[in-house]
């Protein structure tokens, strides 16, 4: 088996202090590998990087049209958001139009990453709701699909019609039979594939016709990068840096995907030690390598070839891509 390769380096002065290894694959619209690092056949759990695949049945079933969902709803269905007001008010409004409330969600409560939202909850001596969960948009989509299918409320069960539809979409786009699943942080099944399978799926999205479900989803992500993640987040800032021409999405444990519609390419990336700083640097380096991200854009420099400072704001080192990605 091909081993993971060093992708990101942490330098302190003249010393290489740490290194993060990983696997990455770029596929074209025929599903073939264009470039790869490490083991293309590594079995992975894509975590939240698979949300646009999980959102496909929402459109293909006719549920999105019947519910009159907008591009904002579709962006939220693909989101791992900060729990800011722009996210929670939209999810709450979405649920209300379906005759539902926070109690219908099965993602669990989560303290928002957005500082004003978090401080408001703390100052009010309250607890976060499920709409604050970074996956609440995806779950609002699950509920909308469950209603459309006239299925039961426990939509996160692996044998529920919603999750069966998600598995079908996952296997169709990856071109593989999934070897199984793990339970995600939001309680929904997260199906496994090879890394190549995920890159193939993203290339499938990139090459899909403009009126397809796949195109509607990546167009929504590119149109609303603030809803996909939030201010100061890599997904939002890097999509803005690319002028909305590329959709990218992080996943827990240092996963990342990219959808490049103009190039009809898909990217999947996994840092094996699960460190987010490394996955953000590595995806930035690959996007620079593919010619879609300016290496000197502030959003890029914040994550790739970025200075590391100490508590006195003295620069002590750098985080930068390894020679394999440079």
What is the residue range of 315's domain?
5-321
pLDDT at 2: 82
Mean pLDDT confidence for 281-306: 98
For residues 248 and 257, the answer to whether their CB atoms sit within 8 Å is yes
Residue 191 in domain: yes
- d(CA 179, CA 45) in angstroms, rounded, equals 10
Q: What percent of the chain has pLDDT over 70?
A: 100
Q: Is residue 308 part of a domain?
A: yes
Residue 113: pLDDT over 80: yes
Q: pLDDT tens across 16-63, in order? A: 999 999 999 999 999 999 999 999 999 999 999 999 999 999 999 999
Residue 326 lies in a domain: no
What tens digit of pLDDT does each residue of 133-153 get?
999 999 999 999 999 999 999
- Does the residue 90 lie in any domain? yes
The answer to whether residue 202 sits within a structural domain is: yes
22 part of a folded domain:
yes
pTM score above 0.95: yes
pLDDT at 1 over 70: no
What is the rounded average pLDDT of the residues 243-270? 98
CATH of the domain at 16: 3.40.710
pLDDT digits (tens, 9 = 90+) for 149-198: 999 999 999 999 999 999 999 999 999 999 999 999 999 999 999 999 99
Q: Sign (positive/negative) of CA torsion 133, 65, 247, 167?
A: positive
Number of structural domains found in the chain: 1
Confidence of residue 269 (pLDDT cuts 50, 70, 90): very high
Residues 6+ apart with CB under 8 A from 54: 77, 138, 141, 142, 166, 169, 170, 188
Name the nearest CA neighbour of 246 among 210, 286, 206, 280: 206
């Amino acid at each position: 088996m091909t081993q993971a390769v060093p992708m990101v380096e942490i330098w302190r002065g003249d010393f290489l202090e740490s290194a993060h290894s990983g696997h990455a694959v770029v596929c074209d619209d025929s599903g073939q590998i264009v470039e790869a690092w490490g083991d293309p056949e590594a079995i992975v759990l894509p975590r939240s990087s698979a949300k646009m695949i999980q959102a496909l049945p929402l459109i293909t079933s006719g549920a999105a049209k019947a519910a009159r969902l907008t591009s904002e709803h579709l962006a939220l269905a693909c989101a791992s958001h900060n729990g800011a007001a722009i996210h929670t008010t939209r999810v709450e409004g979405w649920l209300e139009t379906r005759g539902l409330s926070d109690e219908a969600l099965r993602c669990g409560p989560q303290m928002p990453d957005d500082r004003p939202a978090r401080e408001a909850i703390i100052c009010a001596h309250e607890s976060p709701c499920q709409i604050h969960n970074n996956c609440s948009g995806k779950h609002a989509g699950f509920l909308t699909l469950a209603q459309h299918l006239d299925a039961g409320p426990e939509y996160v069960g692996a044998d529920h019609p919603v999750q069966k539809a998600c598995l079908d979409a996952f296997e169709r786009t990856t071109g593989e039979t999934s070897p199984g699943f793990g339970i995600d942080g939001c309680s929904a099944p997260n199906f496994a594939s090879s890394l190549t399978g995920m890159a193939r799926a993203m290339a499938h999205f990139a090459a899909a016709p403009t009126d397809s479900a796949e195109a509607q989803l990546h167009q929504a992500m590119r149109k609303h990068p603030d809803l996909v993640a939030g201010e100061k987040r890599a997904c939002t800032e890097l999509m803005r840096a690319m002028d909305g021409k590329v959709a990218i999405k992080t996943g827990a444990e240092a996963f990342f995907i990219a959808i490049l519609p103009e190039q009809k390419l898909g990217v999947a990336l996994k840092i094996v030690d699960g460190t987010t700083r490394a996955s953000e640097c590595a995806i930035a380096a690959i996007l620079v390598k593919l010619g879609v991200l300016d290496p000197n854009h502030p959003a890029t420099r914040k994550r790739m070839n970025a200075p590391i400072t100490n508590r006195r704001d003295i620069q002590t080192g750098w985080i930068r891509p390894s020679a394999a990605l440079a």
